[in-house]
Structure 1
Amino acid sequence: MSKNKHVIIAGGKTGGHLFPGIAVAQALMEKDPSTKILFVGTNAPFETDTLARYGFAHKSIISRPIKGKNLFAKAWSAGLVGISLIQALVIIIGFRANFILGVGGFSSFALVLAGRILFRETAIHEQNAFPGMTNRMLSKIARTRFISFKETKGMPENDTTFLVGNPVRRPLNTPLENIKTDDSVLNRINADDFLILVTGGSQGAASINGAFTDAVAMMKETSRLFIIHQTGKNAETQIQQFYAAGDIRHKAAAFFYDMPAIQDRADLVISRAGAGTVSELCIKGKPAILVPYPHAADDHQTANAQFLADQGACIMIADKDLTGQTLLAAIGDLQHNTKKRSDMANAMKTLAMPHGADLIADRIIGANTLKKEDNVPA
């Protein structure tokens, strides 16, 4: 096993890309604390703030796809790609990186390409069954591909493509101010409270926010209810005002940094159906109402949610069918049916893929223990 690895994890901007990278970084530090880790991505506040809270170093580069309606715009974008490649080369050499892992998002493109130019070990991780544009290109460049689904478009299993599942981050254990806030919320929840976690992902989801507040407004019995609502930045004030006007015990915020701990306590989760979310819910065995994002590439979130629904692991509501009434009916069905929630939780656990982060980390440090996960949705 190789010690003192210098690993760059490239990509991010959204939680769906960033959190798998954080999970791999946590696994690397557990296996070999001498590992040096650097995240390279954008200067988006969500990305920089999240990595700071997890204690990982970060650098940003220019990262824009080649696009534009005319030749001049495309030439300008191509020029920016050239600049990002130079930045990537400088970062890799300066950090003395010997492994570059791309986790998606266009900022990963320059780093993985630069890694190949400099003869460093390179890999990508694809979270979805339908890869995004960046990973479609990088699948031809990176030496190794890690996939989360048995049927990942354009990436069949072979000697350089490994089925590992989606890495899931460990809970935060750093005594930062925001963690104390989250803990105090959890400590206010009674043992017999029914805790609903509502989240539209790191960016929030307007349709879920609207339907859920409509459902709450129609609820008749809320004395044993506690709601934790991740609203997204744009809706935070509006939804906080909505709850303030009522008497339901709650915590509403744009984002919760220690989501794993909150998920552990939740009795029911209402969320989108991104690959990261699906993986976390399966590992934790959480009953869920999933509302797939209708504009996801190749509608992959609907495929994720439909697979779970077919196994009896969740209730799926299409975004076009989502209303306060439909959501209230689904919540009521699960809140008052302990057996159904238990059956859903067990179905979730049978689909769990808990070892993704460890399998990727083992490959990076050369532990040679890599094997595929068996229970991967397809």
Structure 2
Amino acid sequence: MRPPTLPRLLIAASGTGGHLFPAIATAEQLADYQIEWLGVPDRLETKLVSDRYRLHTVKVGGFQQKLGLGTLKTLLGLMGSVFKVRKLLREGQFSGVFTTGGYIAGPALFAARSLGLPVILHESNALPGKVTRLFAPWCSTVALGFESATKYLKNAKTICVGTPVRSQFRSAPDPTALKDLAISKEAPLIVVVGGSQGAVALNQLVRQCAPAWFEAGAWVVHITGESDPDLRGLAHPHYRALPFYHNMAALFQRANLAISRAGAGTLTELAVTHTPSILIPYPFAAEDHQTYNATVFANAGAAILFRQSELTPDMLQNSVLTLLKERMRLDQMAERAAALAVIDSAEQTAQLVRDSLAPRSATMSKPGL
């Protein structure tokens, strides 16, 4: 009799940190599964997951607004990707698929359902993406980051579990973690982050405001992203500009205030680390979904929301200065951010995966199969 092997799970997550980090956090809780990854060539997953999980890639893109040759090309590419993923699932004897949405979810879901495999989809945003709204009824379960997303998915089986965050965000703060940044222990710290892709307009706005914050005694750690053309445009002893920082958990735990875009993953990290924030949603996000996310935090009193089109340097500069003077208000915002956090979201999401895959996993692990 052969010893039972671990059931196999294919995780389909690609592109940005908003899709990848919740998937990674969930994978960390699934040590009882053999996990392989489905992504797209030359995307962030090739850096973040290829050294931890076996990575398979397919070429897939989104449909354009107007019908044309581009639409036909995308459709043919999607069909080819479905066949490739279907072969992978069948030959690898996978028990099912977990996906965090986006373009990669399409071929993964089509392929899995054609084989009768369960699919669990996690949607982080308050306004579910087009892929989620289209395919949610086909999924075994749709896990949601925001309760308000339920109203957009009435024909699907949904459950709100929050958005999973990586384990380091839930760990106790390490007082030595930020030694490389040499930040004064007593000074108020402002952390600026534009998401995994950066935010050039936000970066420019912050650099105009920062001198006034320095005069008030604050330090600024500015995560600029890789595509900022003015990375060295500001120099000051209290200013650290970095394209990327390896320990965002420690940075948010130390921060007195964050200035940020409003991707669902970043908002979850702010909530888990109890970090007050000023949110400036990316104005060109699909269907303005970042504004929906930010509105949840603003309505809860955990953040201040500004639309980029209405925000001036004076408004941002003075809002930060006012908050730095009102320690009680910052503490209140921190408490309300904490109240939005679902600390065990990764565990809840992992258990949903187990529950959905359990019947097939039991069958696949029988001796001789």
TM-score category of the 2 structures, normalised to the smaller one? 0.7 to 0.9
Instruction: Say whether the 8 Å CA contact 1:170–1:260 is kept in structure 2.
Output: no
Task: Give the Å deviation of 1:272.
Answer: 0.9
Other-structure match for 1:284: 273
Other-structure match for 1:365: 354
Could you tell which deviates more after superposition, 304-313 or 6-15?
Answer: 304-313
Other-structure match for 2:203: 209
Structure 2 residue 219 is the aligned partner of structure 1 residue 226: yes
Instruction: Say whether the 8 Å CA contact 2:9–2:94 is kept in structure 1.
Output: yes
Q: CA, structure 1 residues 259+94, in 2 after alignment: closer, same or farther (shift >3 Å)? A: farther
Structure 2 Cα separation of the partners of residues 233 and 198 of structure 1? 14
Task: Give the Å deviation of 1:151.
Answer: 2.7
Other-structure match for 2:153: 155
Gaps spanning 5+ residues in structure 2: where? 171-175, 358-369
TM-score (norm 1): 0.84
Q: CA, structure 1 residues 56+330, in 2 after alignment: closer, same or farther (shift >3 Å)? A: farther
Task: Give the Å deviation of 1:166.
Answer: 1.2
Which residue identity does 1:349 align to in structure 2?
A
Structure 2 Cα separation of the partners of residues 171 and 38 of structure 1? 22
Q: CA, structure 1 residues 52+324, in 2 after alignment: closer, same or farther (shift >3 Å)? A: farther
Other-structure match for 2:70: 73
> Where does 1:142-221 land on structure 2 (aligned, <5 Å)?
142-152=139-149, 153-156=151-154, 160-171=157-168, 183-186=178-181, 188-219=182-213, 221=215
Instruction: Say whether the 8 Å CA contact 1:185–1:251 is kept in structure 2.
Output: no
Task: Give the Å deviation of 1:298.
Answer: 3.3
Match for 2:12 among 10, 13, 16? 10
DSSP 3-state at the match of 2:189: strand
Instruction: Say whether the 8 Å CA contact 1:196–1:228 is kept in structure 2.
Output: yes
Instruction: Say whether the 8 Å CA contact 1:23–1:168 is kept in structure 2.
Output: yes
Match for 1:242 among 215, 218, 233? 233
Task: Give the Å deviation of 1:102.
Answer: 1.4
Gaps spanning 5+ residues in structure 1: where? 174-180, 369-378
DSSP 3-state at the match of 1:140: helix
Task: Give the Å deviation of 1:113.
Answer: 1.4
Other-structure match for 2:330: 341
Match for 1:61 among 51, 58, 62? 58
DSSP 3-state at the match of 1:40: strand
Other-structure match for 1:316: 305
Instruction: Say whether the 8 Å CA contact 2:253–2:274 is kept in structure 1.
Output: no
Instruction: Say whether the 8 Å CA contact 1:98–1:121 is kept in structure 2.
Output: yes
Structure 1 Cα separation of the partners of residues 67 and 100 of structure 2? 30
Which residue identity does 2:202 align to in structure 1?
I
Instruction: Say whether the 8 Å CA contact 2:169–2:269 is kept in structure 1.
Output: no
Task: Give the Å deviation of 1:290.
Answer: 0.7
Other-structure match for 1:113: 110
Structure 2 Cα separation of the partners of residues 220 and 250 of structure 1? 8
Other-structure match for 1:48: 46
Task: Give the Å deviation of 1:41.
Answer: 1.2
Instruction: Say whether the 8 Å CA contact 1:125–1:147 is kept in structure 2.
Output: yes
Other-structure match for 2:289: 300
Task: Give the Å deviation of 1:200.
Answer: 0.7
Structure 1 Cα separation of the partners of residues 94 and 240 of structure 2? 42
DSSP 3-state at the match of 2:62: coil
Instruction: Say whether the 8 Å CA contact 2:137–2:155 is kept in structure 1.
Output: no
Q: CA, structure 1 residues 225+4, in 2 after alignment: closer, same or farther (shift >3 Å)? A: same
Structure 2 Cα separation of the partners of residues 172 and 37 of structure 1? 22
Instruction: Say whether the 8 Å CA contact 2:120–2:356 is kept in structure 1.
Output: no
DSSP 3-state at the match of 2:148: coil
Instruction: Say whether the 8 Å CA contact 1:182–1:256 is kept in structure 2.
Output: no
Which residue identity does 1:5 align to in structure 2?
P
DSSP 3-state at the match of 1:165: coil
DSSP 3-state at the match of 2:283: coil
Instruction: Say whether the 8 Å CA contact 2:127–2:293 is kept in structure 1.
Output: no
Could you tell which deviates more after superposition, 73-82 or 295-304?
Answer: 295-304
Q: Deviations over 1:253-305 (max 9, x none)?
A: 22234322221121111001122222221222111111112223333322322
Other-structure match for 2:28: 26
CA RMSD of aligned residues (A): 2.6
TM-score (norm 2): 0.86
Other-structure match for 1:325: 314
Structure 1 Cα separation of the partners of residues 155 and 340 of structure 2? 19
Structure 1 Cα separation of the partners of residues 302 and 91 of structure 2? 47
How many residue pairs match? The answer is 348
